[in-house]
Amino acid sequence: MVAEAIAHGVDGLSNVVAGWAEAEGETEIAAAIRGGGDAFEATVMAALEATACAGHMKAGATIGGIAGCVLTFGLGCGAGAALGGVAGALISPACHRAVNEIATMVTSSWDTGTAVGEMLKDVQCSGRSFPAANPADCADECEDKVPETSCFTWYYDNSCCLCKIAPCESSSSSDSGGGSSSSSSSSFSQRPSSDGGGSCGSIEFDTDFFGGDIVPVTTKWADTAVAAASPEDCCEACSLYSYCGAWTFTPAENCKERFPGAPGCCFLKKGTGYEKRSATGMVSGTSGGPPVAACTLEFDTDLLGGDIQSGNGPDTVVPTISDADCCQSCAATPGCGAWTMAPPSDCASRLPNARGCCFLKHEGGWTRTKDEKGVLTSGQLI
């Protein structure tokens, strides 16, 4: 009964984690995680069935233990040989079919774990961020990295995790799911200083920088947001990206759908294109770094032709993760005056690990056309 309950519980947890992945636009990883949970549940139930038909608790327990070990994303245990030995020595011939089912399911789950690992290898993360399968893994990784005498805040966005380490204000700390390890996350100052290592420029309280959001390549959201405990976190996050020029911090009640349980969130902005609006409780500011490139933004638009020639093809394509990133690449390329951003499938043969494609174009020589699929975004340098 206990084993059965655990099996159902793991399957349910996998569905929750898969939901997080889907919310971040990682549908392939979500499918792999959900498949792993289903395989784990089926494997444990088959092990219990084998135990019952053999009448030998030790045999069933051994099989269940091996299966469970292998299902932890293939970390150790040498499942194939061990499982075969246990099945041959302890299970009666009448139960061989049940054991074969277990072996098949273990192999399937091993493949699932490998698939998730391979997917994460292809994830591109900027700055000091690194790939993580889900927010829980992000929090765990940051907890391992932070010294015992420090507190930390973590951000998780688009399969990338960022840890921000800062001194604790008190000796007691615990893991809080809202993106901060401090047991009193409200103790973070709500008034960031403008001399914090150059990461913050001007600060405006009760102000929303409306519009001007950084648009990711592929996501259901038309902006870039990260979980944050304070405006200081927004300064830190924005400073990690050369194309981030401003930010807006908003309290938890405005982040419930995207970051359940987070103390707040931060919307990263380009250097231009936003409007200052009065908004109680919001805090906005600029990056304090060098000026970032500015571009127009046209959704569902392809600039056909006018490509900058390159040595590896009739056009120049560079990896990108957002419209602002693509704009910055164009500004840094001699002769570039416009660009078109496309999903990774459009440059998979040339940039196999890219999260998005940025096709660099001349100031003229192209024709503006409507993208009927709704996956292309274009812009021009201002």
SS3 sequence of 120-172? HHCCCCCCCCEECCCHHHHHHHHHHHCCCCEEEEEEEECCEEEEEEEECCCCC
Domain 298-380 has CATH 3.50.4.10: yes
Helical axes 27-54 vs 2-23, angle rounded to 10°: 170
Of 3.30.70.870, 3.20.20.140, 3.40.50.970, 3.50.4.10, the CATH number of 130-286 is 3.50.4.10
Question: Which segment, 154-168, 222-236, 276-290, is predicted with the most confidence on average?
Answer: 276-290
Rounded Cα–Cα distance for residues 204 and 191 (Å):
10
Rounded Cα–Cα distance for residues 39 and 35 (Å):
6
Residue 250 reports pLDDT greater than 50:
yes
- Comparing 130-286 with 298-380, is the CATH topology the same? yes
Q: Is 89 helix (H, G, I), strand (E, B) or coil?
A: helix
Contact 378/298 with Cβ under 8 angstroms?
yes
More confident residue, 33 or 289: 289
Locus of tokens 């304090």: 288
Total residues belonging to the chain: 382
At 284, the pLDDT band (50, 70, 90 cuts) reads: very high
Cβ neighbors of 311 (< 8 A, separation 6 or more) are none
Cβ neighbors of 317 (< 8 A, separation 6 or more) are 310, 347, 350, 351, 357, 358, 359, 360
Q: In the chain, what are the domain boundaries?
A: 2-121, 130-286, 298-380
More confident residue, 131 or 274: 274
More confident residue, 78 or 288: 288
Q: Is 19 exposed, middle or buried (0-12, 13-18, 19+ CB in 10 A)?
A: middle
In this structure, of 61-70, 116-125, 147-156, 218-227, the range with the lowest mean pLDDT score is 61-70
The torsion angle over the Cα atoms of residues 71, 72, 75 and 79, rounded to 10 degrees, is -20
Average pLDDT (126-136) is: 74
Locus of tokens 């981030």: 244
Rounded Cα–Cα distance for residues 179 and 154 (Å):
5
- Note the pLDDT tens digit of each residue in 189-218: 233 333 333 457 788 999 999 999 988 886
More confident residue, 284 or 3: 284
Rounded Cα–Cα distance for residues 304 and 340 (Å):
9
Q: Is 27 helix (H, G, I), strand (E, B) or coil?
A: helix
